[in-house]
Amino acid sequence: MKYKILGKTGLKVSEVGYGTWQIANDPGLWVGADLAESEKCLNEYVSRGGNFIDTAWVYGWDVNYPNKHPAEELIGSFLKKNNLYDRVIVATKIPPKNMKWPAWKDIDVQNVFPSDHIKKCVDDSLQSLGVSSIALMQFHVWQDDFILNDELVETIKGITKTGKVQHWGISVNDYQPTNCLRALNTGLFSSVQTIFNVFYQKPTKELFAFAEKNNIGIIARVPLDEGGLSGKLNNDSVFELGDFRSQYFTKDRLKELSSRIDRLRNICVKYKIDSVPELALRFILSHPQVSVMIPGMRKIAHVKENTGISEKGPLDRKILDELYKEVWERNFYSDVDPSLKNSGYLA
């Protein structure tokens, strides 16, 4: 496993991280997780040199059990059982108070991140994870004018002084990689989490250059496009009841996806690369601005395959040049939540 420094945090993180949205089940979004298997996967990940786990206050959260934070609690139990507090870096996220993803344009920050809500979520996460300090706390949605709010800024500074949070980051809205630059210029934030994969390459145009110049860590999320780049979906794929991908990947999109994956398979054959997932993940790690990518992993086989990518190294320039032509600009999330179409969010 190779390691990188996560921007200004100074934290040495494995370049293959662990995304945990899926590991504890999430009502109405992800289903089918086996908690015992999830714990085995975490164990396998750490045994292979992985040390960066990304989670969130809301992962697995159920409105019927508002004080439970299943993913954080599972991770906290795992850390305690194996005494891994000094070996594993956990990043988590504060949800918007209004529980709306993404943060809509022109919304008042007091509806999203009022001070009392931020403080409560920090305390909740500390308890769920069983730690006294959070290495990296991220805002789970963002609009860049939030940073103009003095109360928000003072809350961030105040919590940092208590030691409850060591470093702060922003998880930017889907497909809005530069909707954070004003905040980053304040020096309060050390990292940005953004969608970045073979199909969605917009972060390379401005965010990556800014991050490199200003020592901002980049966390690449959705590296396999919600499974689209796993190479396992086809025209006949059917998702479990409750899996949001039944709307994300409609029949027409599965057909388009299949043709695009066929092109990627041809690239794999041409350059003797073992699989589409390997191609997709090595594409991400070929960009030095990326500190860590966070694929979701619910099976031991996935952990072994994804962590093994690190030792294979970056792709040759000629392969990258071919992959730069595979951009597929679209926002399928707007069909999972149709309200986004009139929200001012789809920039």
Q: Is residue 330 within 8 Å of residue 340, measured between CB atoms?
A: no
The per-residue pLDDT for range 16-48, each reduced to its tens digit, is: 999 999 888 766 555 667 888 999 999 999 999
For residue 210, the model assigns a pLDDT of: 98
pTM comes to: 0.93
CA angle (197 as vertex; 183, 134 as ends), nearest 5: 45
Question: What residue ranges define each of the domains in the chain, with the CATH number in brackets?
Answer: 3-342 (3.20.20.100)
The per-residue pLDDT for range 138-160, each reduced to its tens digit, is: 999 999 999 999 999 999 999 99
The per-residue pLDDT for range 213-243, each reduced to its tens digit, is: 999 999 999 999 988 898 888 888 877 766 6
For residue 241, the model assigns a pLDDT of: 63
The ranges of the chain with pLDDT < 50 are 341-343, 345-347
Amino acid (1-letter code) at residue 103 = A
For residue 52, the model assigns a pLDDT of: 98
For residue 346, the model assigns a pLDDT of: 46
For residue 33, the model assigns a pLDDT of: 72
